[in-house]
């Protein structure tokens, strides 16, 4: 049996650019890509905390250490600089692979520096 699971997440990254006339994609600081395990050209889901928009594009590498999160092309209509977004990737795993699987979760400060990282989301309490 196969199961699709959250593979990686950049939590509450801050959009720094929205470039309508740039070739479509989302440019992400290379350090954040490496830390999260998101690969260049990998499909990503973006969830805009500011306006509720949810959309699919792919990741491209921005300059390491730049803090850049640039939503490009048509997706630039769905996010503006200053919006907080959650960027996720998913992958398919077998039952055997799931035994050792842990997602990579990276939590961002307002300037897209890393607050902390984890491999589990805390249990939500009432």
Q: Is 124 part of any domain?
A: no
Average pLDDT over every residue of 21-32: 93
Is residue 126 situated within a structural domain? no
Per-residue confidence (pLDDT) for residue 78, from 0 to 100 = 97
Establish whether 65 is an annotated binding residue.
Answer: no
Sorting pLDDT into bands at 50, 70 and 90, what band is 23? confident
Could you give the number of structural domains in the chain?
1
> Which residues on adjacent β-strands are paired with residue 85?
13, 48
Contact yes or no for 65/98 (Cβ under 8 A): no
Q: How far is 83 from 110, CA to CA, in rounded Å?
A: 10
The pTM (predicted TM-score) of the whole model is 0.95
Q: For the segment 79-103, what is each residue's pLDDT rounded down to a tens digit?
A: 999 999 999 999 999 999 999 999 9
- Residues with catalytic roles: 25, 58
In a domain, 23, yes or no: yes
Band of residue 113 on the pLDDT scale cut at 50, 70, 90: very high
Write phi, then psi, for 32 (nearest 5 degrees): -70, -40
In which band, very low, low, confident or very high, does the pLDDT at 19 lie, cut at 50, 70 and 90? Answer: very high
CA–CA separation, 23 and 89 (whole Å): 21
Q: Containing domain of residue 29, as a range?
A: 2-116
Q: Residue 105 pLDDT more than 80?
A: yes
56 is known to lie in a ligand binding site: no
| Residue at 20 is within a domain | yes
**Residue 125 belongs to some domain of the structure:** no
> Which among 40, 41, 44 has a CA at the least distance from the CA of 7?
44
At 24, is the pLDDT very low, low, confident or very high (cuts 50, 70, 90)?
confident
Residue 28 belongs to domain with CATH number: 2.40.40.20
Is 99 annotated for ligand binding? no
Q: What is the mean pLDDT of residues 60-66?
A: 97
């Amino acid at each position: 049996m196969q199961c699709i699971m959250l593979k990686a997440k950049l939590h509450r990254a801050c959009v720094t650019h929205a470039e309508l006339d740039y070739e479509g994609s989302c440019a992400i600081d290379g350090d954040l890509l490496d830390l999260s395990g998101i690969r260049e050209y990998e499909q990503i889901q973006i969830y805009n905390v500011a306006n509720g928009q949810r959309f699919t594009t792919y990741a491209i590498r921005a300059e390491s250490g730049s803090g850049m999160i640039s939503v490009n092309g048509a997706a630039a209509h769905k996010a503006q600089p200053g919006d907080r977004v959650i960027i996720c990737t998913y992958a398919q795993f077998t039952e055997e692979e799931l035994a050792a699987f842990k997602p990579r979760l990276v939590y961002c400060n307002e300037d897209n520096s890393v607050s902390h990282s984890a491999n589990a989301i805390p249990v939500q309490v009432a």
